Structure 1
Amino acid sequence: MLTSLMEGLLCCLTTKSANVVVPVETSEPADGYEFVEVKPGRVLRVRHVIPDRPVVEEPTAQGGSVSCKRKITVYRNGQLFIENLGEAASAKRKNGENGKTDDNNAAEVEPADCANCSTPVSVPEARSDAITAGNNGASETGVRVRSPAAEQTDQLQQPRMRRRKPKRTVVIDCERKISACKETHPDVALFFVHGVGGSLDIWGSQLDFFSRLGYEVIAPDLAGHGASSAPQIAAAYTFYALAEDVRLIFKRYARKRNILIGHSYGVSFCTFLAHEYPEQIHKMVMINGGGPTALEPSLCSIFNLPTCVLHCLSPLLAWSFLKAGFARQGAKEKQLLKESNAFNVSSFVLRAMMSGQYWPEGDEVYHAELTVPTLLVHGMHDKFVPVEEDQRMAEILLMAFLKLLEDGSHMIMMECPEVVNTLLHEFFLWEPASSPAPKKESKTRPETAKAPADNAKASSEPVKARPATARQTSSNVGTEENPHSKAKN
């Protein structure tokens, strides 16, 4: 603590950085680690493990197919309206009542601004297959008879509805094939992306677990973290600069089917890749990533202080991170932070990272356009990310599965590695049930229909013809049971 205060005071007096911005020394063996130069002078450390797989045949199962048909409408007041369209709704939307495309249909009705309304009015967000806005309260019109005075009073109280052109409309119509990703499949790769202050070492349990199973794993150190190079300009740590680094790493190691696993700030980079390469991203995992909001640095953050002041406060920041990042603060958690090289970055890098989180495109519409199956893992003791944000993310995404863990906090993959590894592995092996093929009509049905008629003509008594008809139908079709046999039993 005293050393940090002296270095910070010297920094303020000499107006020079107290931190030497160089890659952090690592004692890890060089086996399995690579240094990739994404740009001239910008080198990232990457852990890349290709296990020895037995030669197996390609999987014959094609997996399940998921059809995505949804319409996202954004109004000028910021309201979001999502429709999951079915077959009939999609056809009706494409072909209007007059056979033409109707862009301003009933789903785009927005309540008018009403200053005298007692309750706020908003366009409801729905995820059903058939949605028609503006028909609330109209289902019981033919049931109740009300006086004209009461109807006039209700009209004065209810907000006025008027048709307004939306600010933006996005229509998604695609079909994804989702299959299980097993360790024996050579076309599967797992990408792990850490957040602010972390390193690839925080994924130590996950990298060892899945590499032993036979998966190919890739985990980079972001710029200024771990053993990667740390440029001395703040522009090197903006969201777009880091996202470009992650994109180049992805293009270098990507396979046919890729799974992204992100933590905290790293979730934003995974979302960026899933939006840029939807055909190559097979599945995605978000661990304590937060809500679907556009990133913007806070003006009242402690990280806006000068670098020398942050260096003086570095012991306090490390203690705060330990308190908020772990559900329990003991010797085990401190040892995990030390071994995983977490929160061991310079004050300059930390300040530049927090000030460069500007990503206005990553709003709710951006996330709602994703069609990648996503697993959201949230630790209930997390003090950085509220659970409401992950719940909102699960509502916005098309195929999202939210899992809440009671015993974990923000660094849940380090606190509960066995539970997290099991969740991730089950999600990798998951595939949707394939829809059954439509049943074809049996060719014996016309003959079956003729047989009762012939029996009825041959027999003079209609009562004797009924058992024969039942037996003939059950023997030919095989789907109806004989009621007389039930009575006997």
Structure 2
Amino acid sequence: MLTGFMEGLLCCLASKSTNVVVPVETSEPADGYEFVEVKPGRVLRVRHIIPERSVVEEPTGQGGIISCKRKITVYRNGQLFIENLGDRASAELKHCQNGETEQNSTVEVELTDCANSSPPVGVPEARSDSVTAGKVEASDAGAAGEPPASGQTDQSQQPRKRRRKPKRTVVIDCERKISACKETHPDVAVFFIHGVGGSLDIWGSQLDYFSKLGYEVIAPDLAGHGESSAPQIAAAYTFYALAEDMRLIFKRYARRRNILIGHSYGVSFCTFLAHEYPKQIHKMVMINGGGPTALEPSLCSIFNLPTCVLHCLSPLLAWSFLKAGFAQQGAKEKQLLKENNAFNVSSFVLRAMMSGQYWPEGDEVYHAEVTVPTLLVHGMHDKFVPVEEDQRMAEILLMAFLKVLEDGSHMVMMECPEAVNTLLHEFLLWEPTTPPLPKKESKTRPETARAQTDNTKAPSEARPATARQTSSNEDEEEKPDSKAKK
């Protein structure tokens, strides 16, 4: 603690930040590491492993085809209304999102007025059209406890129209083919993106596991983290600057089918890439990423203190991160932090990263537009991100799976590497089944009806004269009626 205080005092006197990370002076790949210059003077360390594949096989299965037709309406009072459209909506897609199968044209998500009350958070449940439509009408009518009388309907119609006037409407109509991603597929690349204070070393267990299976893995160090360059400009650590770095890294290493895996703050960059490149992103994994809210730095935060003060408090911050990021605080967890180079960034970078988390576009509508199948992994003992936020994310996303690990916390991939690796591998191999089209059933009904009429014609052939007479009499009686209808 005293050493940290003295270093902070020297930092204030020298007017510069200590513990600046500088990349190794080489650009050649060494032990799977590469140094990529995304901008002049901005170099990122990337671990890129291309395994040797003994057997190469192409995807043989047709995969599951998911037709996405959604209508997202945002009202002026803050309500978000999502409706599934289309006749070919997959029953499995419905099951993945709401937990139960439901009919088409069903309202999926509804938000209450942000100014009056907080949105209800919980495990998503199947809702019918009549129930959710009633909720929307009740919220629009106000706090009335009883339905209005017949004489009051005309007076209440006009304010309802004003409140229900949509502020923004988004219609999504696309079709995705989702197939399994095996390690022998040469067109698959898996990206790992860490969060604030981390490095690519926190993915050590995952990188070794999937590279040994035969997957091509890519894990970059964010600017100022690990062994990437650390510019002494606060603008270099805004969300848009870091997102542009991840965009360039993605374009450099992307294959035909790409899988994004992000942790904490890195989940926002994965969502950004999935929104920008929906056809190239095959699947996505969010580990303790939080809810689908727009990013905005907090004005009352400890990270708004001067850099030298944060440097003096760095031992306390490291202890707080250890206590909040791990379910247990022992010698094993401390060794994991030290070996995986986690929370080992300069005070200037930490302050700039926290104050640069400004992303107003990343709201719930932005996340609702993402059509990539997503796996959400949450550690039950996470003190940074509550489980309700991940549950809300599962409600907003089109097709999401939420898995909660009881023994994990915020750094769940370091605490429970085997469980996380198993979940990720199963998700990569997951392939939805395409249900039969409802049109086929409608075609079989006329055939059965014809068969029944053919069978009934056999006994009527014994008396054709009477049958013709009755049919002619019925035609004569129905002719005036048919002319009147026409």
Give your verdict on TM over 0.5. yes
Inter-CA distance 203–25: structure 2 relative to 1 (3 Å threshold): farther
Letter in 2 for 1:184: T
1:160 Cα offset (Å): 5.5
Provide closer, same or farther for how the CA distance between residues 83 and 123 of structure 1 changes in structure 2, counting only shifts above 3 A.
Answer: farther
Identity %: 80
Deviates more, 1:259-268 or 1:229-238: 229-238
Taking structure 1 as reference, are residues 10 and 422 closer, same or farther at Cα in structure 2, changes over 3 Å only?
same
**CA distance in structure 2 between the partners assigned to 1:9 and 1:350 by the alignment:** 18
CA deviations 1:280-332 (Å, max 9, x no partner) are 00000000001111111111111111111111111000000000000000011
- Cα distance change, pair 215–122 in 1 and its aligned pair in 2 (3 A): closer
CA gap 1:158/1:321 in 2 versus in 1, 3 angstroms: farther
Matches within 5 A, 1:431-450: 431-436=431-436, 438=440, 441=444, 450=454
Hey, what's the Cα distance between the residues in 1 that align with 2:50 and 2:232?
Answer: 34
Give the secondary structure class of the aligned counterpart of 1:230: coil
1:161 maps to a residue whose letter is R
Contact 1:47/1:218 (8 A) holds in 2: yes
Aligned twin of 1:322: 322
Quote the offset at 1:345 in angstroms: 0.6
Amino acid corresponding to residue 429 of structure 2 in structure 1 = L
Cα deviation code 1:173-221 (max 9, x no counterpart): 1111111111111111100000000000000010111111111100000
In the aligned structure 2, how far is the partner of 1:3 from the partner of 1:352?
Answer: 23
SS of alignment partner, residue 223 of structure 1: coil
Superposed CA deviations along residues 41-94 of structure 1, whole A, max 9, x for unmatched, are 1111111111111343422211011111111111222221111123399xxxxx
- State the shift of 1:126 in Å: 9.8
SS of the residue corresponding to residue 211 of structure 1 reads: helix
Matched residue, 2:472: none
Name 2:104's counterpart in structure 1: none
Aligned mates of 1:436, 1:149 — CA distance in 2: 45
CA separation of 1:240 and 1:445: change in aligned 2, threshold 3 A: same
Aligned to 1:343: 343
Q: State how far apart, in whole Å, the 2-side matches of 1:185 and 1:251 are.
A: 19
Does residue 391 in structure 1 map to residue 369 in structure 2?
Answer: no
The Cα shift of 1:17 comes to: 2.5
- Answer whether contact 2:67 2:88 (CA < 8 A) is retained: no
Which residue does the alignment assign to 1:71?
71
Partner of 1:209: 209
Do the aligned partners of residues 342 and 58 (structure 1) sit closer, same or farther apart at CA in structure 2, a change above 3 Å counting?
A: same
Tell me which amino acid in the other structure corresponds to 1:250.
F
Alignment of 1:354 onto 2:354: yes
Contact 1:8 1:311 in 2 (8 A): yes
Once residues 33 and 25 of structure 1 are traced to their aligned partners in structure 2, the CA distance between those partners, rounded to angstroms, is 13
Change (3 A) 1:311 1:72: same
Could you say what secondary structure the match of 2:318 adopts?
A: helix
Do the aligned partners of residues 443 and 20 (structure 1) sit closer, same or farther apart at CA in structure 2, a change above 3 Å counting?
Answer: closer
Distance (Å, rounded) in 1 between the aligned partners of 2:339 and 2:449 = 72
Secondary structure at the counterpart of residue 388 of structure 2: helix
Distance of aligned partners of 1:24 and 1:30 in 2 relative to their CA distance in 1, 3 Å threshold: closer
CA 1:76 to 1:340, structure 2 compared with 1: closer, same or farther past 3 Å? same
Note the C-alpha offset of 1:377: 0.6
Q: 1:83 to 1:368 in 2, by over 3 A?
A: same
- In structure 2, relative to structure 1, the CA distance for the partners of 1:134 and 1:340 (3 Å cut) is closer
In terms of mean alpha carbon deviation, does 378-387 or 150-159 score higher? 150-159
Please report the TM-score for the alignment, with normalisation by the length of structure 1. 0.78
Q: 1:11 to 1:447 in 2, by over 3 A?
A: closer
In 1: Cα distance, 2:419 partner to 2:131 partner: 42
Residue 461 of structure 1 corresponds to none
Q: Answer yes or no: is the 8 Å Cα contact 1:378–1:390 preserved in 2.
A: yes
CA distance in 2, matches of 1:187, 1:55: 14
Structure 1: distance between partners of 2:225 and 2:405 = 28
The correspondence of residues 143-154 of structure 1 with structure 2, limited to 5 A, is none
- In the other structure, the counterpart of 2:469 is none
Compared with structure 1, are the counterparts of its residues 131 and 407 closer, same or farther at alpha carbon in structure 2 (3 Å cutoff)?
same
- Structure 2 Cα separation of the partners of residues 311 and 299 of structure 1: 19
**Map of 2:482 onto structure 1:** none
Per the alignment, residue 162 of structure 1 pairs with: 161
3-state SS, counterpart of residue 167 of structure 1: strand
> What per-residue deviation string (whole Å, max 9, x for no partner) do you get for residues 132-170 of structure 1?
9765699xxxxxxxxx99767999999963254311110
- SS of 2:190's equivalent in the other structure is strand
What does 1:288-307 correspond to in 2, within 5 Å?
Answer: 288-307=288-307
What is the aligned residue count?
424
Deviation at 1:450, TM superposition (A): 4.0
- Cα separation, partners in 2 of 1:447 and 1:296, compared to 1, 3 Å: closer
Q: Which residue of 1 aligns with 2:185?
A: 185
Q: Structure 1 CA distance, aligned partners of 2:296 and 2:118?
A: 28
Decide whether aligned partners of structure 1 residues 25 and 335 sit closer, same or farther in structure 2, where only a CA change above 3 A counts: farther
| CA shift for structure 1 position 381 | 0.5
| C-alpha contact 1:43 1:228 (8 A) present in aligned 2 | yes
The CA deviation string for residues 403-445 of structure 1, in whole angstroms up to 9 with x for no partner, is 1111110000000001101111111111111122536659898
Q: Give the Cα separation in 1 of the matches to 2:409 and 2:78.
A: 32
Counterpart amino acid of 1:249?
A: I
> Could you say which residue in structure 2 is the equivalent of 1:99?
none
Tell me the equivalent position of 2:287: 287
Alignment partner of 1:412 is 2:412: yes
Residues 82 and 126 in structure 1, CA contact (< 8 A), matched pair in contact too: no
Residue aligning to 1:87: 87
TM (norm. structure 2) is: 0.79
**Alignment-derived partner of residue 265 in structure 2:** 265
SS of the residue 1:225 aligns to: coil
Please name the residue that 1:250 is paired with. 250
Structure 1, 371-380 or 120-129: larger mean CA deviation: 120-129
* Aligned-residue offset at 1:11: 2.2
1: CA distance between counterparts of 2:409 and 2:30?
31
Alignment check: 8 A CA contact 2:4 2:314 kept: yes
Change (3 A) 1:133 1:434: closer
- The corresponding residue for 1:427 is 427
Does residue 223 of structure 2 align to residue 223 of structure 1? yes
Distance, in Å, in 2 between the alignment partners of 1:310 and 1:68 is 47
Contact 1:84 1:129 in 2 (8 A): no
Alignment-derived partner of residue 93 in structure 2: none
1:349-405, CA deviations, whole angstroms, 9 ceiling, x for partnerless residues? 111111111111101110010000001111111010111111111111110111111
Question: Which residue is 1:38 aligned to?
Answer: 38
CA distance in 1, matches of 2:456, 2:267: 67
Amino acid at match of 1:190: V
Q: How does 1:104-143 map to 2 (within 5 A)?
A: none
AA partner of residue 308 (structure 2): C
8 Å contact from structure 2 (residues 56, 186) kept in 1: no
Change (3 A) 1:431 1:264: same
